[in-house]
Amino acid sequence: MKAHQLKVYNTLSRQKENFLPISPPFVGMYVCGPTVYGDAHLGHGRPAITFDTVNRYLTHLGYRVRYVRNITDVGHLTGDADEGEDKIAKKAKLEQLEPMEVAQQYTDTYHRDIALLNTWKPNIEPRATGHIPEQIALVEAILNEGLAYVVNGSVYFDVLAYNKKYTYGKLSGRVIEELVSGSRDLDGQGEKRNSVDFALWKNASAEHLMKWPSPWGIGFPGWHLECTAMSSKYLGNHFDIHGGGMDLIFPHHECEIAQGNACNHQDPAKYWMHNNMITINGQKMGKSLGNFITLQELFTGKHPLLEQAYSPMTIRYFILTAQYRSTLDFSNEALRAAQKGYKKIINGLRIARNMHYDINPEVALDGEHLQQVEASITAAYRAMDDDFNTAQAIGHLFNLLKKINSVFTGQLHSATLGEEVFTKMLATYTTFVEEILGLLEEKGEVQEGLLDLLLRQYTEAKTARNYAKVDEIRLGLKSMGFVVKDMKDRVDWAYEE
RNA sequence: GGUCGCGUGGCCGAGUGGCUAGGUAGAGGUCUGCAAAACCUCGUACAGCGGUUCGAAUCCGCUCGCGACCUCCA
């Protein structure tokens, strides 16, 4: 296979750049994981699948990826920045649980749901609460640089001081003067010297549930700090890819860049990748809007907005049919279309796995078909090389699938493609579906052996022109979710679309 | 209010100057005991108006509509 020049859209430069890892073949990738205080919803599914696909494709190209995705189990506050209540602790009080019980419970459900989407596990999945000493050390380092200050046992990052040496706002495209003047009510600043400053360490009140000792008293870390602590610990001070949802660009990732520069004098990541939001009726699906659908609700169909259940692979396919930087609009109609498309892909996978080249010297090569197949193979890779355009790649896979189906049903002879191209076509198709896109065959309850038995009876009945029995078997299979495919010389089954 | 982005055929969704995206839905056809599956063909899509160009969905301007971030959110 020829060398690929992968291009990646970098939020920092706002353009596609050639992907050149810092130390090939190694790639360090850090992705912001969930704050574990509720069930994972469709909005969590998108970055999980997006960066899983990035991981898969980079691995396919031969890179050795270290994928780190954190679990936020402390420090993420509700309400106004740096003034609200800890999300985990709030949920703990509501459910009368230990905060760690809440974190554990939703970490478990997150893992369960994300695994169903067939995502590879991260190589390291660190938790914020497991890295308190590292975070304290970072605060001390930033204080030593003179870019933070202590007030009543809390430590704040001094954005204005930082901005004299570095540029605060370069990721989100924000101008510091506008942030300063545009800040809402000036009396809500509290201890901060300036409203744009953010907390590195917060003093904990007596009733606060999650707290640790520090040089500044009992307290807990600020939200942005954990990612700096854990990414630098496991990937170094400057690594290749930092990913997450677009809504994290500001302030979270902006603050991470500031923290990284403040204590390590360099940007933490070379490439910043951000997936867009999933919308529902054109509006962002999110916790704060209360219009989110959890993954479990999708899998079971138990949600007022859902007309039916949608399988994990349908969801994965649905998300992959859009480029990750575009919004993707949810609707039952779109998901039903995705379900059909997914099943078509998987029926093709079964066929491709079992198909063999049929040597026939009397069949001539067909230049047009050959050219179409070769073009689709090249185009599928080119799409992935162009900032992981899974939507476009899938389009080319469907073109390959048409050829595969044609050969399978006898409408096209495999020899018209020649053995080399035919084999490459099958290999490309199966590699893309299974390895790169991560689409699995969702097997039903029925054993394949049983299906084969029924199909043998079906064939016998058909030969005997016992059409009543033929129809009976056909109906029976249909009720189990299978359709019978009658071809010229044989029969086969497929998943009902 | 500031910053940024979007508006593609019934629906979802690629595409950023000339080359069929694709899926799904619908229509017709081949095949079939009838079907199904599969394959083939089709609708003449680019918010509106103006401009640049030999040529624009694609570049520029204006208008309309929608959204994101600026406060926790993937």
Residue A180 contacts strand B, CB under 7 A? no
Do the Cβ atoms of A222 and A128 come closer than 8 Å?
A: no
Buried b (16+ CB within 10 A) or exposed e, A209-232: bbbbebebeebbbbbbbbbbbbbb
Show which of A222, A241, A275 is a domain's final residue: A275
Residues A426 and A470 in one domain: no
Count of domains forming chain A: 3
Q: Is the pLDDT of residue A335 over 60?
A: yes
A331 CA to B24 C1' distance (Å):
13
What is the tens place of the pLDDT at every residue in A28-53?
999 999 999 899 999 999 999 999 99
Please report whether residue A431 resides in a domain: yes
Let me know whether A421 and A452 are in one domain.
no
pLDDT for A176: 85
Does strand B come within 7 Å of the CB of A284? yes
Query: pLDDT of A196-205, one tens digit each?
Result: 999 999 999 8
Phi, psi of A5 (to 5 degrees): -105, 95
- Does residue A339 lie in a domain region? yes
Predicted confidence band of residue A152 (pLDDT cuts 50, 70, 90): very high
Decide: A328 and A54 in contact? Cβ < 8 Å.
no
Nucleic strand B contact set for A 90-149 (CB, < 7 Å): none
Q: pLDDT grade, residue A153 (50/70/90)?
A: very high
Classify residue A413: in a domain, yes or no. yes
**What is the spatial distance between Cα A176 and Cα A196, in angstroms, rounded to a whole number?**
8
Which of A222, A246, A275 is the C-terminal boundary of a domain? A275
> What is the distance between the alpha carbons of residues A99 and A105, in angstroms, rounded to a whole number?
10
pLDDT band at A83 (very low <50, low <70, confident <90, very high): low
Task: List strand residue ranges (DSSP E) for A163-268, in order.
Answer: 198-203, 219-221, 239-245
pLDDT greater than 70 at residue A81: no
> Token pair for residue A351?
């066929």
One domain for residues A465 and A431: no
Q: What is the mean pLDDT of chain A?
A: 92
In a domain, A187, yes or no: yes
* Mean pLDDT computed over A328-343: 95
* Strand B contact at CB of residue A172, distance < 7 A: yes
Beta carbons within 8 Å of A281's beta carbon, 6+ residues apart: A291, A329
Q: Does A299 share its domain with A185?
A: no
Q: What is the pLDDT of residue A3?
A: 64
Q: Are residues A191 and A330 in the same domain?
A: no
Least confident range of A10-14, A73-77, A304-308: A73-77
The model's pLDDT over A214-263, given as tens digits with 9 standing for 90+, comes to: 999 999 999 999 999 999 999 999 999 999 999 999 999 999 999 999 99
d(CA A222, CA A210): 12
Q: How many residues does the structure list for chain A?
A: 497
Q: Cα–chain-centroid distance for residue A251?
A: 21
A56, part of any domain:
yes
Which of the 33-92 residues on chain A come under 7 Å of nucleic strand B at their beta carbon? 34-35, 42-44, 46-47, 76-81, 84, 87
Share of chain A above pLDDT 90, in %: 78
Q: Specify whether A306 is located in the same domain as A212.
A: no
| A393-422 residues near strand B (Cβ < 7 Å) | 394-396, 398-399, 401-402, 405-406, 408-409, 411
Selected residue with higher pLDDT from A483 and A74: A483
Which pLDDT does position A287 carry in this prediction? Answer: 79
Say if residues A278 and A43 touch (Cβ distance below 8 Å). yes
pLDDT exceeds 50 at position A107: yes
State whether A107 and A215 are in the same domain. Answer: yes
One domain for residues A304 and A245:
no
Q: Is residue A282 part of a domain?
A: no
Virtual CA dihedral for A4, A9, A15, A18, nearest 10 degrees?
-30
Q: Which residue has the higher pLDDT, A348 or A177?
A: A348
Interface predicted TM-score (ipTM) of this complex, two decimals? 0.95
Overall average pLDDT of the A63-80 stretch: 83
Examine the domain organization and report whether A453 and A421 are in the same domain.
Answer: no
Q: Which nucleotide is nearest to A394 (CA to C1')?
A: B22
**Are A372 and A247 in the same domain?**
no
Question: First vs last Cα of chain A: how many Å apart?
Answer: 34
> How many C-beta neighbours within 10 Å does residue A195 have?
19
Distance A398 CA to B41 C1' (A): 18
Confidence band, pLDDT 50/70/90 cuts, at residue A80: very low
Q: What is the mean pLDDT of residues A427-451?
A: 92
> What does the pLDDT read at residue A163?
93
- Residues A307, A257, single domain; the answer is no
Residue-by-residue DSSP string for A148-170: EEEETTEEEE-HHHHHHHS-TTT
Structural domain includes residue A193: yes
* Residue A10, in any domain of the structure: no
Q: Which helix (H) or strand (E) holds A334?
A: helix A332-354
- Predicted confidence (pLDDT) at residue A466 exceeds the cutoff of 50: yes
Would residue A173 be called left, alpha or beta, if left means φ above 0 and alpha means ψ between -120 and 50 degrees? left
Q: Which of residues 328-347 of A touch strand B (CB under 7 A)?
A: 328-329, 331, 333-334, 336-338, 340-341, 344, 347
**Structural tokens at position A332:** 């039952």
Distance in Å from B7's C1' to A440's CA comes to 35
Task: Supply the range of the domain harboring residue A486.
Answer: 448-495
Is the C-beta atom of A483 closer than 7 angstroms to strand B?
yes
Q: Are A444 and A481 in contact (CB under 8 A)?
A: yes
**d(CA A403, C1' B42) / Å:** 21
What CA–CA distance (Å, rounded) separates A330 from A285?
9
Q: What pLDDT does residue A113 have?
A: 97
| pLDDT above 70 for A79 | no
Cβ distance A46 to A316 under 8 Å?
no
